[in-house]
Structure 1
Amino acid sequence: MTVVIGFEGSANKIGVGIVRDGEVLSNPRRTYITPPGQGFLPSETARHHRSVILTVLKEALEEAGLKPADVDCVAYTKGPGMGAPLVTVALVARTVAQLWGKPLLGVNHCIGHIEMGRLITQANNPTVLYVSGGNTQVIAYSERRYRIFGETIDIAVGNCLDRFARVIKISNDPSPGYNIEQMAKKGTQYVELPYTVKGMDVSFSGILSYIEEAAGKMLKCNQCTAEDLCFSLQEILFSMLVEITERAMAHCSSQEVLIVGGVGCNLRLQEMMGVMCKERGAKLFATDESFCIDNGAMIAQAGWEMFRSGQTTELSDSWITQRYRTDEVEVTWRD
C-alpha cells in the first residue's frame, strides 16, 4: 500500500490531502476570501496560507487516522500558479519531507486536476476541458504527454468571471464564479456579446472589456439587470468552450469529455457540455466542488501515480515555477 500526502496552494485555496491507493483518506482546505470588488494579492494570499497550513496539515493527518511514519511520499504543487503562495507551500512540503525522512515530489497543478478527475469519475481516456481562475485548456492524452489542443490566448475563463464580479461588486464568498452562477439563473434577457474563438484557441479579455463598459451604461439606464449580464456572460463563454472541446473530440475520435478545474463545477457549463455530448453519442464526466476546486488530494493522487512509476524530486530540484505547462510533464504512469 502506498500513502501520499499532497500540499496545494497555487492560488487562494490552501489544501492538504492524503491518498492511499486510489482512496481519498482526508482532504481539508481553507479559502482566502477578500471583500467584494477586490481580488487577492499574492503576498496577502501567501500570508493567509502561512497562518493556516500547519492547522490544515494536522487536520489531514487526524482525519486520515495516520502518523507521519505511515506516509510514503510528500507531494506539493510545483506550478503553475501565483509565486508567493506556491513558495509558501513548497517550503512547508520540503521541510516536512526532510523532518519525516520521506521522498519529495513536485507535481504539475493541471495534471493534479486531470488525475483527480480520472480517479473520481473513472473516465478512461477522455478529452479534458480544464477551466479555472488561472487556466483554460482543452487537453487529450497521447504518447506519454497530455497534449494541449486549444487554450486561452489571454486571460482564463475563471479570471474573466472573477473580474466581472468585481465590476458589479458581487461577494467573493464562497467564490465570485459561484455567485455569478446563482445570479445567472435569474437572468431573463440575453445581452449580445462578442464571440471570440480563434481556431482551437479562445480569447476572453475583449469580452470582459466589452461587458465592463456595457454594464456601466446599461445598468444605469435600466436596460437590463445585473442578473441578465451574468446570464449572458456565462452563455457566451461556455458556448466557446463547448465549441473547442467538440472540435478536439472530433480530432481525437473521442467519446468521453472530462471537465476539471474550479469553473468545472458550474452546472450550466455541465448542462451545455452534456447537450453536445448527447448529440455526439458521447459521455460527459464531471465532479462536484469538493474535487473540482483546488484541493490537496488531487496533488496527492497525481503524486501517487508519479511515485509508483518511479518518479521523485531531488531537494536541489524542488523549486516552483509559475509557468509550468501541462504538456511539459512526461506521463510515465499511463501506457
Structure 2
Amino acid sequence: MVIAMGFEGSANKLGIGIIKDGQVLANPRSTYITPPGHGFLPRDTAKHHQNVIHELIDKCLKESGCTVDEIDVLCYTKGPGMGAPLQSVAIVVRTLAQLWNKPVVAVNHCIAHIEMGKLVTGARNPIVLYVSGGNTQIIAYSAGRYRIFGETIDIAVGNCLDRFARVLKLSNDPSPGYNIEQTNKWQKRVKSWPHFHMLSKEWTFHFQDFIEDRTANWLKTGEYTPEDLCFSLQETIFAMLVETTERAMSNTNSKEVLIVGGVGCNERLQMMMSKMAEERGAILYATDERYCIDNGAMIAQAGTLMFQSGHLTSISQTTVTQRFRTDEVDVDWIK
C-alpha cells in the first residue's frame, strides 16, 4: 500500500492531491484567473502559487484524513510547463521532503495525464490524444516508452483557444476554452460560416494561423458574430484532431482511444471522437474536468507507479525543466 501526495503547478492551476493505491482521497485545486483579454504571465502565476500553496496543503491533508506520517512519497511536476510556477512548487516539495523526511519522485506532466486517464476510465492500451494549453500530442505506448505519433509544431490547441478568446474578450473564468464552448454549443446554423483553413499534414498540426488578424477583422466588420466564430473554430480544430487520431488508430489497429488534458473535457470534442470510435468498432475513454484539467492527484498517481518501480529523485536533482518530452521517460511499470 502506497500513499502518495502529488503537487502540480506547471501552469495557472495549482493542484495538490493524495492517492492511496489508486483511490483519490483528496484533490483540491486553485486557479489563477486573469481579466478578459489577458493571458497569465509566468511571474504572476508563480506568485499565485506561492500565495495559496500552504493553504492548499492543509486543505488536502484535512480532506484526505491522512497525517504527514502516513504519506509514503512526495511527487511533483518536473515539467513540461512554465519555469517560474514549476520552480515555485518544486522548492516547496524539496523543503517538505527534508522537513518530513520523505522520498521524492519527479514526474513528467504529460505522462501523469495519461496514467490518471487510464486509472479513472479503465483504458488498457489506448491511442492517447493529449490536448491542453501547452501540449497537443497523439501518443501510443510501445517498447517501454510512450511514443509520440504526431504533435503541434507551433502552439498547442489550448493555447490557440486561449488566444482566440482574448480576441473575443471572453472571460477566463473558469477557462477561455470552456467559455468558447459555451458561447456556441454547436447548434446547426443555416447561414454560411467563416472558413478557417485546416492546417494539418500527416502527423503534425498548425494552430497559429487560426488567430490571425482576420478574426478581429470579421468581428470589426460585423460579418460574423462571436457565436459564429466560436462554432467554426471548434468544428475545424476538432475535426483535425479526430482525423489524425483515427489515422494513428488505423496504423496500430487500436480499439481504444483516450482523451486527456484540459481541452479533453470539451463535450463537442468527446462527441466527435466518440462517433469516430463507434464507426471503427472502438471505445472512447474520457473524463470530466476533475481529472482532465491539471490536478495534484494525477501527479500522485504517476508518482506512485514510478515509486513502486524504484524511481526516486535525490534532493539535489529536484529541479524542473520547461521542455520535458513525453517520450523521454522510461515507462518500466507497464509490463
For normalisation by structure 1, the TM-score amounts to 0.98
Give the structure 2 partner of residue 263 of structure 1.
263
Match of 1:162 in 2: 162
Residues 219-228 or 179-188, more deviating: 179-188
- Counterpart residue identity of residue 194, structure 1: H
Q: Which among 183, 192, 195 is matched to residue 195 of structure 2?
A: 192
Distance in 1, Cα, partners of 2:90 & 2:3: 19
Which residue of structure 1 aligns with residue 146 of structure 2?
146
- Give, as a single letter, the amino acid of the residue that structure 2 aligns with 1:83: G
Aligned pair 1:203/2:177, yes or no? no
Give 3-state SS (helix, strand or coil) of 2:120's partner: helix
Measure how far apart 1:251 and its partner are.
1.1
Moved more, 238-247 or 220-229: 220-229
Could you tell me whether the CA contact under 8 Å between 1:186 and 1:228 is conserved in 2?
Answer: no
Amino acid at match of 1:159: N
> How far 1:96 sits from its partner (Å)?
0.8
Correspondences of 1:102-121 after superposition (within 5 Å): 102-121=102-121
- Distance in 1, Cα, partners of 2:218 & 2:139: 37
Q: Deviations over 1:17-73 (max 9, x none)?
A: 000000000000100000000000000000000000010011010000011100000
Asked if the contact 2:2–2:21 (Cα under 8 Å) also holds between the matched residues in 1, the reply is yes
Task: Kindly provide the amino acid, as one letter, of the partner of residue 19 in structure 2.
Answer: V
- 1:240 and 1:59 map into 2 onto residues whose CA distance is 40
Contact 1:16 1:29 in 2 (8 A): yes
Deviation digits for residues 138-173 of structure 1 (CA, Å, limit 9, x no counterpart): 000011100000000000000000000001100000
Matching residue's letter, 2:179: N
Kindly provide the amino acid, as one letter, of the partner of residue 319 in structure 2. W
One-letter amino acid of the counterpart of residue 332, structure 2:
T
1:258 and 1:51 map into 2 onto residues whose CA distance is: 34
Q: Give the CA deviation at 1:207.
A: 2.0
CA distance in 2: counterparts of 1:176 and 1:159, whole angstroms? 10
Q: How many residues align?
A: 332
Contact 2:186 2:268 in 1 (8 A): no
Deviation at 1:185, TM superposition (A): 1.5
Partner of residue 222, structure 2: 222
Partners in 2 of 1:215 and 1:125 — Cα distance? 39
Q: CA deviation at 1:330?
A: 0.2
Q: Does 1:8 align with 2:11?
A: no
Give 4+ residue runs of structure 1 displaced > 6 Å after superposition.
Answer: none
The residue number in structure 2 matching 1:23 is: 23
In 1, the alpha carbon distance for the partners of 2:268 and 2:129 equals: 15
**Aligned residue in 2 for 1:74:** 74
1:228-266, Cα deviation, whole Å (9 max, x unpaired): 000000011000000110111111110000000000000
Aligned residue runs from structure 1 range 307-318, under 5 A:
307-318=307-318
Aligned to 1:39: 39
Q: How much does 1:216 deviate?
A: 2.6
The amino acid that maps onto 2:54 is L
| Structure 1, 293-302 or 199-208: larger mean CA deviation | 199-208
SS at match of 2:118: helix
Where does structure 2 lack aligned partners over 5 or more consecutive residues? none
Residues 186 and 227, structure 1, Cα contact 8 Å, conserved in 2: no
Matches within 5 A, 1:80-99: 80-99=80-99
CA distance in 2 between counterparts of 1:19 and 1:45 reads 26
Cα RMSD, aligned residues only: 0.9
Match of 1:324 in 2: 324
Contact 1:140 1:148 in 2 (8 A): yes
- How far did residue 314 of structure 1 move? 1.0
Task: Write the letter of the residue equivalent to 2:45.
Answer: T
Residue 186 of structure 1: how far off its partner (Å) = 6.4
Q: Distance in 1 between matches of 2:230 and 2:29?
A: 28
In structure 2, the CA distance between the partners of 1:279 and 1:186, relative to structure 1 (3 Å rule), is closer
Q: Distance in 1 between matches of 2:215 and 2:203?
A: 29
Contact 1:14 1:29 in 2 (8 A): yes
Residues 69-101 of structure 1: per-residue CA shift (max 9 Å, x gap) = 000000000000000000000001111111111
Provide the C-alpha distance between the structure 2 equivalents of 1:218 and 1:9, rounded to a whole number of angstroms. Answer: 36
Q: CA deviation at 1:224?
A: 1.4
Query: Are the aligned partners of 2:90 and 2:319 in contact in 1 as well (CA < 8 Å)?
Result: yes
Deviation per CA, 1:93-152: give whole Å up to 9, x if none.
Answer: 111111111100100000110000000000010000000000000000011100000000
- Whether the aligned pair in 2 keeps the contact of 1:184 and 1:234 (CA below 8 Å) is no
> Aligned partners of 1:240, 1:215: CA distance in 2, in Å?
19
Q: Separation in 2 of the partners of 1:263 and 1:195?
A: 18
